[in-house]
Homo-oligomer: A and B are copies of this chain.
Amino acid sequence: MSMPDAMPLPGVGEELKQAKEIEDAEKYSFMATVTKAPKKQIQFADDMQEFTKFPTKTGRRSLSRSISQSSTDSYSSAASYTDSSDDEVSPREKQQTNSKGSSNFCVKNIKQAEFGRREIEIAEQDMSALISLRKRAQGEKPLAGAKIVGCTHITAQTAVLIETLCALGAQCRWSACNIYSTQNEVAAALAEAGVAVFAWKGESEDDFWWCIDRCVNMDGWQANMILDDGGDLTHWVYKKYPNVFKKIRGIVEESVTGVHRLYQLSKAGKLCVPAMNVNDSVTKQKFDNLYCCRESILDGLKRTTDVMFGGKQVVVCGYGEVGKGCCAALKALGAIVYITEIDPICALQACMDGFRVVKLNEVIRQVDVVITCTGNKNVVTREHLDRMKNSCIVCNMGHSNTEIDVGRLLNLSCSTVPTFVLSITATTQALALIELYNAPEGRYKQDVYLLPKKMDEYVASLHLPSFDAHLTELTDDQAKYLGLNKNGPFKPNYYRY
């Protein structure tokens, strides 16, 4: 997705978006199979055209399952969005009004609101942390006066976040961070509920920036907080409305790409407001990587290949959090797992966890499954592919689409992310906004901050009731003995969990 011609901005936007596009597609997407053709001649070149575009179009859908898809076609249901019955008029051309008479939004079809509301209600069931936050903070309205401009995927889960922010006192204007990922019916439900949302599935690039612009540029309303996923919104404000930053109390950014951009700005001395990096909070990281992959590796492989795990020989490239999650699950289901590693500390962990650490060449001929989780490039090369057994499965669980040396061919998306995991992220974002908005003068400077450990702990504590988990409280005496505040934080910043 390149910048629209009408709005020529320096290159940064373009590479930024490319990186984010890949991040969207691959963070939540991860696997594919390569089957040697009976004739042993792999025709990658021919297929590549077709597949290369695939992640772009459907990758995002894997963010989470929704009932707008039939339960039977969770990962290839491009069709379910095309909504062919819908007229082909651009939403920008339509005149729509919600039931309260407001037209302060732009969505595909306001009539889908009821359906979207039902999706949001279902999402709320697994996002009780946000509901709980609404209840706990509702009296004091910690976001009273906050005017938040947001740019994220617009899904049922995000809707629960947005409506939580509103419940805590904020006014919100929202656009989509991706031209394909919007659930139209959810956008409609938000519009019906009075949120100024500008997004639909299948935006053109011009639409994309127009929507962002509509969020920022409104007479008589000026944002004082930014919630961004990828940095496009932040970028737009920098380039077009730099004065807005005078009122902005802080930016909350979730994506790797966006965080990277913020650190660059900070290094260059150009960051003019505090920014919170919620991507690297402990809770979010553990759920995005270790816990989520422990489940999704099995799910993804079964959905796409129906492979039986018992007795299968598997090599997992990389023993970071993602690799650890994959290995734990595969070992438990009876697979024989080998590890490749470049980092001796992680390699030693693999040994102690009961896995043989090998070089890929040593096992490539014998394994039934190859899984990459490195973030590196060219981990599985063409040469490796040639030496594999027929019907060996190759699967990319990493964050980089270059781990396997055959283009982006193999990055299909075939698992879903449980709403509970998204709840962790959304709650982290909400708390980051509250923290930045309410922080006393001087606590945060023009720099990028990690979420304070205490808030990270608070995110975790809000999710414990789902497990009926009962936390023990320190006595005064114990707190004194340990030199801790009874309410946390309970660990030093360098603690490794």
Within 8 A of B (CB), among A254-286: 280, 282-283, 285-286
Cα separation A357 to B466 with both chains bound (whole Å): 12
Within 8 A of B (CB), among A285-309: 285-286, 291, 294-295, 298-299, 302-304, 306-309
Find A76's partner among B72, B280, B283, B347 (CB 8 Å cutoff): B72
Indicate whether A100 reaches chain B with its CB closer than 8 angstroms. no
Indicate whether A34 reaches chain B with its CB closer than 8 angstroms. no
Count of residues in A whose CB is under 8 Å from the partner chain: 105
User: Chain B residue with minimal CB distance to A353?
Assistant: B334
User: Chain B residue with minimal CB distance to A324?
Assistant: B497
Indicate whether A133 reaches chain B with its CB closer than 8 angstroms. no
Indicate whether A87 reaches chain B with its CB closer than 8 angstroms. no
Q: Are A362 and B470 closer than 8 Å at their CB atoms?
A: yes
User: Which of A43-51, A88-96, A244-252, A414-422 forms part of the interface with chain B?
Assistant: A414-422
Given A467-B311, A468-B313, check contact A416 B354 (CB 8 Å).
Answer: no
Indicate whether A16 reaches chain B with its CB closer than 8 angstroms. no
Given A295-B302, A362-B470, A469-B351, check contact A491 B343 (CB 8 Å).
Answer: yes
Indicate whether A378 reaches chain B with its CB closer than 8 angstroms. yes
User: Which of A234-242, A440-448, A477-485 forms part of the interface with chain B?
Assistant: A477-485
Cα separation A381 to B267 with both chains bound (whole Å): 52
User: Chain B residue with minimal CB distance to A402?
Assistant: B481
Indicate whether A134 reaches chain B with its CB closer than 8 angstroms. no
A18 smallest CB distance to B (angstroms)? 16
Indicate whether A331 reaches chain B with its CB closer than 8 angstroms. yes
Indicate whether A346 reaches chain B with its CB closer than 8 angstroms. yes
Top 4 A-B pairs ranked by shortest CB distance?
A332-B332, A357-B469, A344-B461, A311-B351
State the A residues within 8 Å of B (CB). 38, 64-65, 70-77, 121, 125, 280, 282-283, 285-286, 291, 294-295, 298-299, 302-304, 306-311, 313, 321, 328-329, 331-336, 340-360, 362, 366, 375-378, 390-391, 402, 415-416, 418-421, 456-458, 460-461, 463-464, 466-475, 477-478, 481-482, 488, 490-491, 494, 496-497
